Amino acid sequence: MKELLDKLLQRHKYLEPTAEEELRRQVNVLYGAFTGLIGSEKMVLRASKYSALSYIHSEDPRQRLVGLQRLIYEDVSYDKVPDDDEVINVLNELEMVLAEMLARQAVEERLEKKISQRMDEKQQEYVREIKMELIKEELHDVETPQTKRKLKELDDLEKVHLTESVMERVRPKRLSAIVGQERAVEAMQSKLSSVYPQHLLLYGPPGVGKTTAARIILDEAKKLPFTPFGPDAPFIETDGTTLRWDSRDMTNPLIGSVHDPIYQGARRDLADTGIPEPKPGLVTEAHGGILFIDEIGEMDPMLLNKLLKVMEDKRVRFESAYYDEDDPNVPQYIKRLFAEGAPADFILIGATTRDPSEINPAIRSRCAEIF
């Protein structure tokens, strides 16, 4: 029995320093973690504030635990040195508090990093906006003393009038003022002032008032309760003899075209990023109203065929080898124009001095003819 007791005492003699060293090591780790969390300077200030310096520099790890409690909880009331049974609980509590503080610090650092990154992005975006505004101001500020002088000369010329045009004075302003074309006007009115207005071809010599009659009839049709024309329905007028277009569809003021950034130069902000810009033509301007083409018999046959296609589809389609639908820099209105096209639902009125036999049969078949 005595031999067994001696063996147990001998074992305790060797185990006790090992447990003490383990406690010292754990306390040192907690101190290191806390110092890394708040910094060495704040550590010294807090130790002085909460009277923990004597505990920190103690050789007894239990005394050091008390100092650590004062530092972490910021409370001078901690003065009881834990016994062997309480040490484990104190260590666990301090570890949990430090773990929570470290986790909070990690989250705050991530948030600060994200906030800093977001602020940098906003700052760069703001700088880009300022640059674009400055560029626009420079582009718009193109007036020079010479250009201003020339503009003034034009304004001065506009103020000089010798006589008023006779045609301007006698041009009718209402249907009752149109004299000598009653049957033609009545026919036009019946075709346009309808729930389903029709495309028209007007035959007659120049100067008989084809354009004026069409404009007045549209104004009258807008007043009817059953008309499809809205109160703001446009009347777009053009001359078939001056309509020009490019066979490569680089320019087409009637139908519309795409301004590629390399050859024609789209808007500057689009050209810088290589984005093509669709340019809707007169058929889209006339959407919901009337497209009046004077001397339609003088139009290029190919351009007339393109016009017929638009009249059937009621829409203009755009294509470009430079367009990339996956490009994030493409504005939404350009994406829509390439994807869906531009609306072009209008009533065509074509006026001509030619004989009906000289007019394209395809356009004649789609229009009512009035002489």
**Cα gap 219→213, rounded to integer Å:** 10
Task: Select from 113, 225, 107, 221 the least CA-distant residue to 175.
Answer: 221
Are 190 and 295 within one domain? Answer: yes
Are 105 and 180 within one domain? Answer: no
How would you class 206 by CB atoms within 10 Å of its CB: exposed for 0-12, middle for 13-18, buried for 19 or more? exposed
**Cα gap 193→198, rounded to integer Å:** 9
Are 214 and 323 within one domain? Answer: yes
pLDDT value, residue 144: 67
pLDDT value, residue 7: 47
Are 229 and 309 within one domain? Answer: yes
> If you search the block for the tokens 């045609």, which residue do you land on?
167
pLDDT value, residue 163: 56
CB within 8 A of 109, min separation 6: which ones? none
Report if pTM > 0.85. Answer: no
Are 76 and 218 within one domain? Answer: no
Are 186 and 259 within one domain? Answer: yes
Does residue 169 fall inside a structural domain?
no
List, as one string, the DSSP characters of 268-322: HHHHTTT--EEEE-HHHHTTTSEEEEETGGGS-HHHHHHHHHHHHHTEE----TT
Q: 5: which 2 tokens?
A: 């007791």
Question: How many structural domains is the chain composed of?
Answer: 2
**Domain end residue (candidates: 61, 87, 110):** 110
At 173, which amino acid appears? K
Are 204 and 106 within one domain? Answer: no
Does residue 29 fall inside a structural domain?
yes
Q: What is the dihedral of CA 103, 105, 107, 111, to 10 degrees?
A: 180
pLDDT value, residue 65: 82
In SS3 terms, 129-186 reads as HHHHHHHHHHHHCCCCHHHHHHHHHHHHHHCCCCCCCHHHHHCCCCHHHCCCCHHHHH
Q: Show pLDDT as tens, one digit a residue, over the chain (371 residues).
A: 445 444 444 544 444 456 778 888 888 888 888 888 888 888 888 888 888 888 888 888 888 888 888 888 888 888 888 887 788 888 888 888 888 888 888 888 888 888 888 888 888 888 888 877 776 666 555 566 777 777 787 777 777 766 555 555 555 556 554 555 667 677 777 777 778 888 988 888 876 677 777 888 888 888 888 888 888 888 888 888 888 877 766 778 888 888 776 654 445 555 556 678 888 889 999 998 889 998 888 888 898 999 999 999 999 898 887 777 888 877 888 888 888 888 988 989 888 888 888 888 988 888 888 88
Are 105 and 184 within one domain? Answer: no
**Cα gap 210→204, rounded to integer Å:** 8
State the residue range of the domain holding 86.
2-110
Pairing label, strands 256-259, 277-280: antiparallel
Does residue 308 fall inside a structural domain?
yes
Q: Residue 288 sits in a domain of what CATH number? A: 3.40.50.300
Task: Select from 25, 31, 98, 26 the least CA-distant residue to 67.
Answer: 31
CB within 8 A of 208, min separation 6: which ones? 181
Does residue 276 fall inside a structural domain?
yes
**Cα gap 38→180, rounded to integer Å:** 100
Does residue 329 fall inside a structural domain?
yes
pLDDT value, residue 45: 86
**Cα gap 334→55, rounded to integer Å:** 73
Q: Around Cβ 94, how many Cβ atoms within 10 Å?
A: 21
3-state secondary structure of 117: helix
Are 217 and 103 within one domain? Answer: no
Are 94 and 186 within one domain? Answer: no
Question: How many Cα atoms within 13 Å fall on the side-chain side of residue 285?
Answer: 14
Task: Select from 179, 200, 174, 191 the least CA-distant residue to 352.
Answer: 200
Q: 237: which 2 tokens?
A: 């007028």
Does residue 242 fall inside a structural domain?
yes
